[in-house]
Structure 1
Amino acid sequence: MAAPHPGKWEIVLEDFQCIDPDPEKVRRSVLDTEKTAMHALIIYNPAPVRKWKVLYFIAGSRDSSGYVTSRIWDPSPPQGVSPISSQLIPNWDNDPSTEAPALLCCGHSRLADEKILFAGGIRPFPPPPKPPIARGLWYTYIFNPVNEQWSIPGPTGNPHAMADGRFYPTLTTLGTKPDGQLSNQVIAMSGRRKDLVGGNPVVNKDPEIYHPNVGWRFMRNQTVPQPDAQQPFDDLYTGAHLIPFGSNAGKIFYSMPMTQAQIFNPFFDGPPNGGFWTAVGQNRSTYRYAGNSVLLPLLPSSTSAKVLILGGGNEPNGGQPGSNSAEIIDISSGFTWEPANPMFFARRNSNAVILPDDTILVVGGNNKDEHDEPVYTAEKFDPATGDWTLLPAMNIYRTYHSVAILLPDGRVWASGTTHPGQVAENWQNNIEIHSPGYLFEGTRPEILSAPDNITYGSLFGIDVSLPITGIRLIRLGSVTHATDMDQRSVGLTFTPGQPNGTNPYTVNAPANANIAPPGYYMLFALRDKQYSLSGQTMIPSVAKIVKLGS
């Protein structure tokens, strides 16, 4: 039996094609992304033609136009049209005298209507001789994937601003309220405040909750901070996962970088219902600054939910090394950390991407500080066996401020890195795409029909060109700083119909929004391993993008 195909990396060139190029040719013809992809999100426009693209930005300062701008990469632009387009981010409250909407180092998450919420960012550094210390913005923006435009939410003259700044925050979309109704809210946690205290940055420990019709509120729907809701850690860009099952379903699990994991109950309203925060799991020994946290794929018919954390290390200062260790915790019950098999390489600033075959692709990163000793070789983790597999090396290093995100065609898009040096012209403004091995293992199934919209707890039908063994819903990605704030894979149960030239299936939608928050998902159909050339790899279809809601 042949070994599974390892896949390959390809650099995107100016002719918008991916090839295995000669290094000299790459230097001449690599596609310029114009801006460094420090933040990247899949966006989808369902009409008039179903079209997905990648939104990305660094958004650190105004350019010559007087605006901060983002970029969109189109994988299939019309002939003669550049795949890169530019979008203006309005000045805050449409006032050019305000601080620039520097969304660099903000947080982002998806709303139920699939508009995207962005909150926080970075204020301009104070003038010399004051040290360049990052402070948080309090701005809020909405991006609309349909018209590809940015806007400021809230009434004119009274926009939806947060109460204080947040630099390096984590945003998490909530599922259902305790009464079972859809929440349609987002929690903002952590980040640095807008002002220094004694010349030092201060962590914003007051969580805020956002509703599109109301704006930001503190917990208990209050306009002042709630002391008992303050986060019990000082860490930024924390791994955060909406708990899908068990007695804590609907609460948020905060995994790392801190050594003590926590559960946050956004709906706590006072005794006798416990408190906002509960420490869970034993205190770990490994601090995981710039590590990765992944909610492992939720398998069909299972009520187990596990989180994998990997890599990272101490904060960068004088050659701090990364770690190759990994740990797993069951967040549906037990809450005990168990060691996982270590990676082949120590990594910090890597990206971990859930693939439709249930494996976790880990790419890029480096061993020391923010950029030193980059790791080119990719590897993947199989949760079913606990094993790691080495994969081909990237052509371009991806360290601090890099991104990687799953595309609906089953490939992985990687870009960014603010290195070498502090000169923007030297940063990695290019794209490299990984084609996983399953794309070379045999004929892919094709989803011939599927609904555009699916409802929680309902049945829906799909028709596939070949018999399949699995169906996965994977939420459109939203990644920055080694943290994907939306990533989630949900396995669906199904029953086959009577084949009639094609293969119909009746599929069970997720039961509720704690299992799968509302919005757009990639629907993949998976062919059984026995039909792969190696006999060891499920083969996914190209995804059909569907909207999940109530």
Structure 2
Amino acid sequence: MAVLPASPGRANRLRRWRMLRFGAFLLVILVGNGPFAVSWTAARYERWRSHRPDYMRSHGRWDVVADSGTRSIHAAMLHTGKVLLMAGSGNDQGSFDAKKFRTVLWDPIANTFTDVHTPWDVFCAGHAFLPNGDLLIAGGTKKYELLAPASPDGKKHEYQGLKDSYLFNPVTERYEKTGELNHARWYPTLVTLASGLVVAVSGLDGNGDIDQGNTELFSSASGTWDDQQDLRKVFPTYPALLLAGDGRLFFSGANAGYGPASVAERQPGLWNLTNNAFQPVDGLPEPELNETAGTIMLAPAQEQKVMFIAGGGVGDTQVATARTAIVDLDSPAPRYQRGPDMSRVRRYPGAVILPDDTVLVSGGSTGYRARDSRVAEIYHPDTSSFTAAADPHVGRDYHSEYLLLPDGRVAVFGSNPLSDDNTFETRVEVYSPSYLYRGDRPKVISAPPRITRGSMITVASSQPVTKVRLIRPGAYTHVTDTEQRSVALPIVQQTAGNLTLEVPQNPNLLPSDWYMLFVTNGAGVPSVASWVQVG
């Protein structure tokens, strides 16, 4: 029997009945699962909004691109274009006891991970790049802490440091043993000087005590560490140290981990490595909240302005701040001036300098390894202000790392919270800044692979540009990256796509190393970087 079509009136009644039934179903869902439904709806809306072209042009975009499967504690951008992720035992007592130490290489282009044999526990070591691009890593974990009452004497015993020292060779992709440190170190800071020597300070020693000012220098020519009896300076662990234009080391006052709360050891200032003199730098707002803070040298490095970012109280207090402060190291009497506050308080903020001279500040937590702050902002040095960036999908706090990639994006790794289920974050998330959605990018057609300080060089660009920057690759751990800096190459002449550029002469400003050379057009859009070696 043929089925006759429903009359228009009947069809309308059927549609209304179905809509009412669906509406009743939704009402039941919302009443019974209100928070989940609202969250689901908000997440869908946020995903739609964050992928709109106009939103990305003003805020950028975050994408989870991979899972490294690695508890990365340290990350370094290599001149081969790969990223070294070092975990060692990864803050895991079981892995430490089993001597399961891990390092992986991430290839951002192929998005692949390769395991690297790791001969010691690199967990919580220090690192710095040598002039040839090798990464020097020193220190590590000799023994995990014992918490009372588990320890035999009922007292807490701190982590203990190692004297181990290795180079990571980006070409062979292998660790190479060097001479050992003179002093065992856990949570140390390493800085490469203009001479090519590397200074190591601070850390917990082989007994778990804070180093009492022992300073040593590494020579790549001899592959050995030399104790410096005349250079003694006590710092808290992982002190934020930057090479200043006059050759002194600037201690911003920021640090991570351990150290006495006394003013002397946490006083910001400029340390002279020729005579051990220390010039205090005062004016830091809320100086009692300088632990787990970030430090970054603003662009261009020629201006010698350093930014102090957020931070918290000493130890495991939940107190945190949103303040920033800026100091001009070229001033005859450098002194911090308060900068703009961020949108919320943070400990462990991630800070990365971008090719357009702005700074991405992201992640962190609102307390001591507490709730992750899934908020990102952009600092604009020309107006001394923050603007909102797209919010990351993954929260990051303790043991997280932030690196600028050669394509102008920022890759983020790690996170080791104490809250929730204490799951170590192994996903890799990448931030694409807003400048990547503002039209065609200029291209570096040609650039010399090696440049000499004090010289003039020629770079060919596909578009007219307004600025050229040499950005040193980062080596990040525990809110500390001692070498990240962006050095301007002044444009002397620009004709038919050929740029004549002046290379700064000061090796304290432009230490020998591999750099990413970016050209940026008038719309603030940078090129993909060309790797060049400064020597």
TM-score, normalised with respect to structure 2: 0.82
Distance 1:102 1:422 in 2: 27
Specify the code of the residue in structure 1 equivalent to 2:269: Q
Correspondence for 2:69 among 34, 50, 58? 34
Q: What CA deviation, in whole Å up to 9, does each residue of 1:484-535 have, x standing for no partner?
A: 1220001111233431xxx001111121211111111000000013xxxxxx
Counterpart-to-counterpart distance in 2, 1:544 and 1:283: 37
Q: 1:275-311: per-residue Cα shift (whole Å, max 9, x none)?
A: 4333233465423111101111126xxx531110011
| Gap runs ≥5 in structure 1 | 13-30, 46-51, 91-100, 154-159, 176-182, 220-224, 269-274, 530-537
Instruction: Find the counterpart in structure 1 of residue 329 from structure 2.
Output: 331
The answer to whether the Cα contact below 8 Å between 2:202 and 2:234 also exists between their aligned partners in 1 is no
Determine the structure 2 residue equivalent to 1:476.
473
Paired with 1:429 and 1:353, the residues of 2 have a C-alpha distance of 20
Deviations 1:345-372 (A, max 9, x none): 11111110000010110010001112x1
* Larger helix proportion of the pair: 2
Q: What is the Cα deviation at residue 315 of structure 1?
A: 2.6
> Could you list the runs of 5+ residues in structure 2 that have no partner in the other structure?
1-53, 255-264
Aligned position for 2:309: 310
Contact 2:283 2:337 in 1 (8 A): no
Give the 5 Å matches for 1:122-271.
Answer: 122-125=141-144, 128-130=150-152, 131-153=156-178, 160-175=179-194, 183-196=195-208, 201-214=209-222, 215-219=224-228, 225-226=229-230, 229-233=231-235, 235-244=236-245, 249-257=246-254, 259-268=266-275
Q: Distance in 2 between matches of 1:369 and 1:547?
A: 40
Aligned to 1:83: 112
TM-superposition CA deviations, 1:118-145 (whole Å, max 9, x none): 0111222267525352121111110000
- Corresponding position of 1:68: 101
Question: For the Cα contact (< 8 Å) 2:202–2:210, is it kept in 1?
Answer: no
- 1:504 aligns to 2:498 (yes or no): yes
Match of 1:56 in 2: 85
Tell me whether 1:435 sits opposite 2:432 in the alignment. Answer: yes
Q: Residues 316 and 368 of structure 1 are in contact (CA less than 8 Å); yes or no, is this contact kept in structure 2?
A: no
Query: Which residue type is aligned with residue 267 of structure 2?
Result: Q
Q: Cα offset for 1:391?
A: 1.1
d(CA) in 2 for partners of 1:87, 1:136: 22
Aligned match of 1:451:
448
State how far apart, in whole Å, the 1-side matches of 2:436 and 2:285 are.
Answer: 38
Distance in 2, matches of 1:42 and 1:461, equals 26
Write the letter of the residue equivalent to 1:54. V
- Cα distance in 2 for partners of 1:419, 1:281 equals 33
Pairing 1:520–2:521 present: no
Largest Rg, 1 or 2: 2
Look up the SS of the partner of 1:466 in the other structure: coil
Does the Cα contact within 8 Å between 1:110 and 1:116 map onto a contact in 2? yes
Q: Is the 1:259–1:285 Cα contact (8 Å) retained in structure 2? A: no
| Equivalences, count | 458
Judge conservation of contact 1:420–1:427 (CA < 8 Å) in 2.
no
Separation in 1, partners of 2:96, 2:115: 12
List structure 1 segments (4+ residues) > 4 angstroms apart after TM superposition: 61-67, 420-424
Aligned CA RMSD, in angstroms, stands at 2.1
In the other structure, the counterpart of 2:530 is 544
- Shift in alpha-carbon separation, 1:494–1:168, aligned structure 2, 3 A: same
**Partner SS state of residue 439, structure 1:** helix
CA distance in 1, matches of 2:161, 2:70: 22
Identity %: 31
Q: For residues 96-130 of structure 1, what are the alpha-carbon distances to aligned partners after superposition, in whole Å with 9 as ceiling and x for unaligned?
A: xxxxx211111100111111100111222267525
Q: Look up the equivalent residue of 2:219 and give its one-letter code.
A: H
CA distance in structure 2 between the aligned counterparts of 1:420 and 1:193, rounded to whole angstroms: 25
Q: C-alpha displacement at 1:324, in angstroms?
A: 0.1
Once the two structures are TM-superposed, the CA of residue 482 in structure 1 deviates from its matched residue by: 1.0
Compared CA separation, residues 65 and 507, structure 1 to 2 (3 A): farther
TM-score by length of 1: 0.79
SS in 2 for 1:5: helix
SS at match of 1:207: strand
Is the contact between residue 44 and residue 146 of structure 1 (CA under 8 Å) also seen in structure 2?
no
